[in-house]
Amino acid sequence: MNRPRALRVIEATAPTPALPYITAATRDPGPIRAALAAGIADPAEEDRAALHLHGVVEVPRDAYLAVPTPSGPEAGRGADAQASASETG
């Protein structure tokens, strides 16, 4: 079965940066970035388009941190529910 063709979009959010790829401060991130770019470039153009794979972009740290962090699932629950969850967890 060709999985990318079996997928369908049911809803979409506004584009935002992906999770960061992190390495030690003493390591060169270039090889990681190159491997990711090669992996994204590998599927056929039609499959990349279906999966919205466009490439790897280096985002400056300040620009990445300027994107608001979404609230977690606990944000919509009351204090009692949060306390109960922490007592049972």
Tell me whether residue 81 is in a domain: no
pLDDT value of residue 34: 93
- Looking at every residue in the chain, the average pLDDT score rounds to 77
Q: CA-to-CA distance for 32 and 38, rounded, in angstroms?
A: 10
Does 36 reside within a domain? yes
Q: List alpha helices for 19-78, DSSP H.
A: 30-41, 45-50, 61-65
Q: Quick check: is 42 in a domain?
A: yes
Q: What is the pLDDT of residue 31?
A: 93
Q: Please check whether residue 37 lies inside any domain of the structure.
A: yes
Q: Please, are residues 50 and 4 in contact by the beta-carbon 8 Å criterion?
A: yes
Are 64 and 20 spatial neighbours (Cβ–Cβ below 8 Å)? Answer: yes
Is pTM beyond 0.85? Reply is no
Average pLDDT over residues 75-79: 56
Q: How far apart are CA 82 and CA 76, in angstroms?
A: 10
Based on its alpha-carbon atoms, the radius of gyration of the chain, rounded to whole angstroms, reads 19
Instruction: Pick 89 or 74 by higher pLDDT.
Output: 74
**Total count of domains within the chain:** 1
The pLDDT, as a whole number, for residue 63 is 84
